[in-house]
Amino acid sequence: MMSTIISFLILIGVLVFIHEFGHFIVAKWIGVKVEKFSLGFGPKIVGFKRRNDGTEYLISLLPLGGYVKLKGENPGEELKNDPSEFTSRKVGDRFKIVVAGPVMNIILAFLLFPLVFMIGVQVPQYLKDAPIIGWIEEGSPAAKAGFQVGDLIKSIDGATIKNWEELQNTILTHPEKDLRVSFLRDGAMRKSVLTPITTKDFGAGYVGWECSFDPVIGGLTPQYPAEKAGLKPGDRILSIAKLPIFHWNQVPQLIKNNKEKEIEFEIQRNGKKLFFLIKPEIQEISGEKRPFIGIMPVIKTINEQYGFLESLKKGAQRTCEMGWTTLKMLKDLITFNLSVKALGGPIMIAKLSGQAAQSGLSYFLSFMAFLSLSLGIINLFPIPVLDGGLILFLLFELIKGKPIGVKKMEIAQQVGLAILIFLMVTVTYNDVMRVLPGNIKDFFPWK
């Protein structure tokens, strides 16, 4: 828990600092006075003021954001036509200051992704394999759409799918959307429409298929039933409760179905068949009681690491791909082709940042790069109170030859604030629904 909080604060702190530093440094360069530079909102925790520039540097109580207060930027402030005042500067100067924040977030992504490729990251080997279906969950969207084990996915919505990584990324980013899938079965091309459902934990798409995944034990949790019973890494599970096992995904499902009952495991070890009776241990996770025996699969990985020039190339390519994915998801949200259930807020970001930090530096930096890129792009959207909204006001001023009236600007900002509040309530609700045990209706006595 503590590591998750620390990694989340580091992540948010870096992204906010980079964003606000963009506004700060360009304002200083142009000659606009910066009155405050704050990491966080709300009451001041610590701060100091530099005499040579008159800027107060703060760390404030609420860490989910930050701000740079420029002299003369607020509507209604008394102006003296002083060059150090933000509103007294020409449109071009103000545009540079406003756009600098999002641009710095995008630049950070372009710097971090190449670093990730230079550090190297352990990638599951199957992600590079051809997208051949090795298992399908009963009753899942893939099963309902008629897919079978052995089908080779060739394209989705006309885009060629070369490996499992591309296939997973497409499914994850398109929950609740109809996808036209072309696949090869018995040498013949076929087509089907597949609609991913939204997962409870992360709001991503899920269809219920997997690659081939041998039921071989890769690790054991100390002091759990499997270790106590005598299972060992490298054991191949042949059957559970006399039901044949051909894919790892069958293992947790059959353990769950048997609940607290003692289960017979048939194991192959060094060419010999062995039988074990194992009684699962019940644990409560997010309010749900689940049976565990303490086994983990074998996951073969490959280390992807590249030289400086190749890392720059791949980093730039990854940044563009992630940027395009972000824009596409935003377009799908606006056109109602993507459910708002897919959105996540601070709780989900904290959870993912903790998982990324535990997985290693390259994973954490990759997650930070993606969030920084998304933050930069979203901030450029023409919504009042975002940087994109201020850019829109400047564009109107440039066209009309005079600033927008204070009253109109205040109304526009109130509308923009209402939109942001609605989004924050939505993502917070989604986060809470993902972590609350059971059904939310169970918490209301008048149901």
Look at residue 80 in the predicted model and tell me its pLDDT.
Answer: 81
Q: What is the pLDDT along the chain (447 residues), one digit of tens a residue?
A: 677 788 888 888 899 999 999 999 999 999 999 989 998 888 889 988 877 778 889 988 888 788 899 988 876 677 788 888 888 889 999 999 999 999 999 999 999 999 999 998 778 888 889 999 999 998 999 999 999 999 999 999 999 999 999 999 899 888 889 999 999 999 999 999 999 998 866 668 899 999 998 999 999 888 889 999 999 999 999 999 999 999 998 998 888 888 778 999 999 999 999 999 999 988 766 556 788 899 999 888 888 888 999 999 989 988 988 888 888 777 777 777 666 666 666 677 777 777 777 777 888 898 899 999 999 998 998 888 888 988 988 998 888 888 777 788 778 878 877 887 777 777 777 666 655 544 443 433 333
Look at residue 440 in the predicted model and tell me its pLDDT.
Answer: 40
Strands 288-292 and 272-278: unpaired
Query: DSSP assignment of 235-300, as one string?
Result: PEEEEETTEE--STTHHHHHHHHHTTS-EEEEEEETTEEEEEEEPPEEEEETTEEEEE--EEE---
- CA 136 to chain CA centroid, nearest Å: 25
189-194 CB contacts, 8 Å cutoff, 24+ apart: 189/154, 192/145, 192/146, 192/147, 193/145, 194/141, 194/142, 194/145, 194/147
In our burial notation (b when 16+ CB lie closer than 10 A, e otherwise), range 247-273 reads bbbbbeebbeebeeeebebbbeeeeee
Cβ atoms 315, 247 nearer than 8 A: no
Look at residue 342 in the predicted model and tell me its pLDDT.
Answer: 64
Look at residue 437 in the predicted model and tell me its pLDDT.
Answer: 47
Distances (CA, A) of 182 to 141, 156, 157, 167: 16, 6, 8, 12
Which residues are part of the catalytic machinery? 20
Look at residue 193 in the predicted model and tell me its pLDDT.
Answer: 95
Hey, how many other C-beta atoms are within 10 angstroms of the C-beta on 331? 11
The three-point CA angle 55-59-63 to 5° equals: 135
> 3-state DSSP call for residue 51?
coil
